[in-house]
Structure 1
Amino acid sequence: MMKIFSSLALVMGLMLSSVSSYAAEAASKTFVVITSESVETQGMALVLSLQALKNGSDVRILLCDHGGDIAKKDYQATPLQPLNATPQQLLKKAMSNGAKADVCALYLPNRGLGMDALIEGVSNAKPPQIGTYMADPSVRYFTF
């Protein structure tokens, strides 16, 4: 009987270890998509992205529609309080802390813009790569 309980305890321990390992892996990648025109929503998405980075997550940011405007060199917004920073400043901070940022593949051509319109460090998304990233079960996905 003692062998059965010992075996059961070992199996349960391995299962919990496996679940714990999966949970750590599942939270290791964060995909943030920003489409909102609202400066506060854009800012909060980036504040949360910065927190995810701080907590060890690999963060990828996709900027589509009005969200793509954040990446334009001529972007202007009133700094948000209490941070006294614009969404673009928060984006730059996130990228300097390791986040990868892309504009949607449709963003530039539908505005008649080229890559030279974007701030340094922002790329043009490639749908096959984004689709593969999104399909990864370890990626947590957030839209703003």
Structure 2
Amino acid sequence: MLHVVGKVSEFRERDGKIVEVDGKSIGVFRVDGRFFAIRNYCPHQGAPLCEGHVLAGLRAHDKPASVDESTLYIACPWHGWEYDIRTGQSYFGAGHAPARTYRVHTETGRRPGPYTADSYVVTVEDGDVVVDTSRRADANDREQEGTS
């Protein structure tokens, strides 16, 4: 089902707006002119996820490490679990160091965690930001959405 959640002009860059849709609290975020929606519920322990901070990713394999502005995460306000704002995939939680891991060779980047927050397809139609709660967003949607 499609739901208009506001005008494009109501969303500031890298900022979120929490809306109620179909009885669910959902955070809608504007990132580089694209829109992403993620359920305002941390799968770890039920915290209001979208009240957390939006963070840029790190490129740990760079020397020195650098900030990756193209990848944004939302950090749970209770325990710091980080979720990719585009997909809902968790990458960091309490007791885990956000650094590369070592085996026989070095692995760079983030390793997926055990949780995935619900995320939804968002489109822009005639200046309105529209969230589709009838299906969850996946990687293919993320490549195409938010550009209209």
Identify whether the pair has TM-score above 0.5, normalized to the shorter chain.
no
Normalising by the smaller structure, the TM-score range is: under 0.3
> Which of the pair has the greater relative contact order for Cα pairs under 8 Å at 6+ separation?
1
Larger radius of gyration: 1
